[in-house]
Structure 1
Amino acid sequence: MKRIYFFLLLIYSSLGANAQVKVKFELQNIPQNKDSIPEYFVAGNFNNWKPNDPAYRFLKVNDADYVLEKQLPANLYEYKITRGSWAKVESESKGNTIGNRSLNLKNDTTVKITIANWADQFKKEPPKHTTSANVHIIDSAFLIPQLNAKRRVWIYLPPSYASSTKKYPVLYMHDGQNLFDQLTSGYGEWGVDELLDSLIAKGQKEYIVIGIDHGGSERLKEYNPYNSEYGIGKGKAYVDFLVNTLKPYVDEHYRTEKDIKNTAIAGSSMGGLISMYAIATYPKVFGKAGVFSPAFWLGKTIETDVKNAMRNLNGSKVYLVAGDLESKTMVSDMKNMYQILNPTGKNKNIVMVEKVDGKHSEWFWHREFVDFYKFISN
C-alpha cells in the first residue's frame, strides 16, 4: 500500500512540476495603424521571439479589443506586441523603442495591454550598419555540409592584425547576427567589436572572433544536441561543423593559434547550451567556454554528458553567467552545472556569476562580456 501511495505521489509531483497556467492577453485602445486589415501578435521568449507566429495571434472580439488565450508553464516571461514583423513592433508614443514587457506567470492571469504607438508610424533615418572597421564577412553563404545548409560567417580581426605577422587566439561565437551589427540583429546587438576595440586599446589580449549566423526557425534544433519538444536536435552535427569544417578553414586562411589553450567558444541561451556541450564533447579542441544564460532546461542531458567528461576537462576554463530576472530555473540550472564542474568550489578555472538585475537580453550579455573576455585572456 505504501508503494502505491508513493507512486501516486510521484505522479502528482511530476504533474505539478509541469503544470500549465492559463494566461489571457487583452489588447485595448489600440492606436491607428497603416494596415487595412490589422493583425496583432505577441512575440516573446515562449515562442523564440517570432513576430508573426500564427499560434500567438490575437483574435478580434469587438471593434476595439483583441484577445489571446494560452496555456504556458509557470515561469518568468518577456514579450512585445507586433503587427506581424519587427518593423511593426509597439513603441513609445513618439516612436522611441520600448523595453520588453515582463510577466511573472504563477497563477491563471489576465494581462490588459495598452499600446502607446507603433514603430512604423514614424519617419526614421534608414538603419545603418554599426560594425567597426575590424569586422568582415568571411562568406555570406558558408557551406555547412553536416546540416545541408549555408550560413553567413563573420570575423573580427584584431587592430594589429594587418600590420603584424603574429598569430592570435580565436573565440567562436553563435548567433552571429547579434554580435557586431545593429542592422542585422533582431533584438539589439552585443557590440562585441566595440567592446574589443576598447579593451584591446587598454592593453587586453587580442583575439580573433568568429561569428556564425543562426538558422532562424532551425535555431532551437541546431543549438540543441538532444531531442526536445521543438524537434530532433541537430547540435551534434553543428558542433561537428565547427570542429571539422569551420575551424580548419579559419586556421588555414588566418594567422591563428590552433591549440586548446587558444581556442574558446561562447554563446547565450541556446548558444550557452551548445557551448557547454562543445567543450564537454571536444575538450581537446576548445579550452575555454563562455556560457551566458544557458537554456539547460531544453537539454537536461547536458548534466550527464558533463559528468562523464569531467576527467577530460582538467585545465578547461568555463565562465557561467545568468541573471535573477530570467526564466524560472535559469539560475538553479546554472548552479547545478557549476556544482558538477567545481564541486569543491576551489577550481579558479570554473567561474559562476549571478546578477540580480540580469535579464535574458543582449544588453545584459554585452555588459557581462567584458568580464568573460578578461577571464579567457588571463
Structure 2
Amino acid sequence: MKSFSAGVVCMVVLLVLAWQTALGQVTLVLKKVPIGTPASDTLFLAGNINNWNHRSSAHMFVRAANQQYYLTVPELTEVLEFKITRGSWAKGEILANGAARGNRGFSTATAADSLYIEVENWQDNFSASTKPHTASANVQFLSHTFWMPQLNKSRRIWLYLPSGYHLSKKRYPVLYMHDGQNLFDSFYSYSGEWEVDETLDQLARRKKLEIVVVGIENGGEERINEYTPWHNKQYGGGKGDAYVDFLVQTLKPYIDSHYRTLPGKTTTGVAGSSMGGLISLYAAVKYPEVYGRVGVFSPAFWLSPELYQYVEQCDLLPSTKLYLMAGAREGEQMVPDM
C-alpha cells in the first residue's frame, strides 16, 4: 500500500504540473529544506498574492513521496514576491547564517513553468541563546512589507524613536540608514550589529542629542543592484537610482507625515557603510536639497568609478555636511579612493 500511495502522489504531482503548464501557471518546488525540518509542519507561501498571510490555507505546499514540496500558484501578479514559512513569521525562512533574507521574486513574463527553491534555514533555528536579541526598547518594526513602487517590491523597515518621543510634542531630525538588519539587533544581523540604538541612547542621556533613525533592510541578493547607481560588468548593479528615488519620493514623505519630524535639509541625513556608503554619497549628490547630513563609511567606490565624474559635475549646497571615514587596512585602494 505504501508503494501504491507514493505512486499515486507522484502521478498527481505530474498531472498538476501538466495542468498548470497548459494554463500558464507556475509551480513552486521546494527541492531542499533545512535538515531537521519537522515532517509534521505545513509549509506556506506568504507573498503579495495573499497580503503576506504567513499561513494562508490557499497557499499550502503539498509534500510528495520524494520529500519535495509543491505548490501551484493559479493567479499571478505581474511580479510574484514571496517568502516561505512554517505557519508564522517566527518560523519563516532566513539565510544559512541566520541573517534575514530578501523577499523572493520573479517576473511572470519570464518565469518558467516550474520554479525550484532551496530554503537555507528557519528563523526558529536561531534561539536567543545562540543569537540573542539586542535591540533597545526604542526600536520597532515600521513594517515587514513596506512597498517600494520604484523597485516594484517590498522591504522590512526598522524605526528608532528617542525614549522621550511619546512623552513630548517635540519634532526630531531624521537619519536614514541602509543595511537595516545590521543597525539594532544582532539576532537579525549578518555581519555584526552596529549598536546604533545603544549609541543614541547614550548620546540622549549625556548630550541631549535625540534623533529618529529609519533603517531600510537590504534586499539580500539585491543589495549590489540597489546600492549601485551604475551597472558593473562583473558584479551587476544599476538600480541605485530607483532605490534613492524610493527613499526621497516614498519613504521620507511617509515618515514625515506619520511622525513628528524636522523635515528640512539640515535635519535630514543619510548614512551607510561599504556599498551603503557609496549609495549614501550618491543620494546626497542627486538630492542636495533633501540631505544636509551625510555619513560615508568605508565606501565601495571601486564598484562605481563613475561616481567621481558624477560628483564633479554636481554642486552640493554650502550647508551640506559630509563625514567620510575609512581605515588604512581595508584594502590597498580604500585610502586612495577616499
Secondary structure, counterpart of 1:202 in structure 2: helix
Separation (CA, whole Å) in 2 of partners of 1:292 and 1:178: 14
Separation (CA, whole Å) in 1 of partners of 2:295 and 2:208: 17
Separation (CA, whole Å) in 2 of partners of 1:268 and 1:255: 27
Does residue 173 in structure 1 map to residue 177 in structure 2? Answer: yes
Residues 235-272 of structure 1: CA distance to partner in whole angstroms, max 9, x if unpaired? 00000000000000000000000100000000000000
Letter of the 1:237 counterpart:
A
Separation (CA, whole Å) in 1 of partners of 2:317 and 2:282: 12
1:283 to 279, 283, 288: 288
Letter of the 1:201 counterpart:
R
Residues 179-219 of structure 1: CA distance to partner in whole angstroms, max 9, x if unpaired? 00000001210010001001110024211000000000110
Q: CA deviation at 1:149?
A: 1.2
1:162 to 156, 161, 166: 166
Counterpart for residue 304 of structure 2: 299
Residues 74-123 of structure 1: CA distance to partner in whole angstroms, max 9, x if unpaired? xxxxxxxxxx9336xxxxxxxxxxxxxxxxxxxxxxxxxxxxxxxxxxx9
1:128 to 124, 132, 145: 132
Separation (CA, whole Å) in 1 of partners of 2:208 and 2:309: 36
Q: CA deviation at 1:137?
A: 0.6
1:85 to 86, 96, 100: 96
Letter of the 2:226 counterpart:
E
Do 1:280 and 1:313's aligned partners in 2 also have CA atoms closer than 8 Å?
Answer: no
Separation (CA, whole Å) in 1 of partners of 2:128 and 2:268: 41
Separation (CA, whole Å) in 1 of partners of 2:200 and 2:319: 25
Q: CA deviation at 1:313?
A: 2.7
Superposed counterparts of 1:48-59, under 5 Å: none
Counterpart for residue 263 of structure 2: 258
Do 2:227 and 2:237's aligned partners in 1 also have CA atoms closer than 8 Å?
Answer: no
1:314 to 287, 312, 318: 318
Do 2:225 and 2:236's aligned partners in 1 also have CA atoms closer than 8 Å?
Answer: yes
Q: Which runs of 5 or more residues in structure 1 are unaligned?
A: 1-34, 36-83, 88-122, 335-378
Secondary structure, counterpart of 1:290 in structure 2: strand
Residues 116-135 of structure 1: CA distance to partner in whole angstroms, max 9, x if unpaired? xxxxxxx9924331110000
Separation (CA, whole Å) in 1 of partners of 2:96 and 2:145: 24
Separation (CA, whole Å) in 1 of partners of 2:149 and 2:246: 8
Letter of the 1:181 counterpart:
D
Structure 1 runs, 4 residues or longer, greater than 3 Å off = none
- Of 322-331 and 251-260, the range deviating more from structure 2: 322-331
Counterpart for residue 237 of structure 1: 242
Letter of the 2:96 counterpart:
S
Counterpart for residue 152 of structure 1: 156
Q: CA deviation at 1:315?
A: 1.7
Separation (CA, whole Å) in 2 of partners of 1:131 and 1:124: 12
1:226 to 211, 217, 230: 230
| RMSD over aligned Cα atoms | 2.2
Separation (CA, whole Å) in 2 of partners of 1:289 and 1:139: 25
Separation (CA, whole Å) in 2 of partners of 1:126 and 1:289: 35
1:192 to 185, 191, 196: 196
Separation (CA, whole Å) in 1 of partners of 2:237 and 2:207: 44
Q: CA deviation at 1:232?
A: 4.0
Q: CA deviation at 1:231?
A: 1.8
User: Size of the alignment, in residue pairs?
Assistant: 219
Separation (CA, whole Å) in 1 of partners of 2:261 and 2:203: 20
Separation (CA, whole Å) in 1 of partners of 2:208 and 2:300: 30
Separation (CA, whole Å) in 2 of partners of 1:124 and 1:166: 35
Letter of the 1:263 counterpart:
T
Secondary structure, counterpart of 2:278 in structure 1: helix
Counterpart for residue 208 of structure 1: 212
Do 1:260 and 1:286's aligned partners in 2 also have CA atoms closer than 8 Å?
Answer: yes
Separation (CA, whole Å) in 1 of partners of 2:216 and 2:96: 23
Letter of the 1:200 counterpart:
A
Q: Which runs of 5 or more residues in structure 2 are unaligned?
A: 1-34, 36-94, 99-126
Q: CA deviation at 1:318?
A: 0.2
Separation (CA, whole Å) in 2 of partners of 1:221 and 1:329: 22
Letter of the 1:314 counterpart:
P
Using structure 1 for the length normalisation, give the TM-score. 0.56
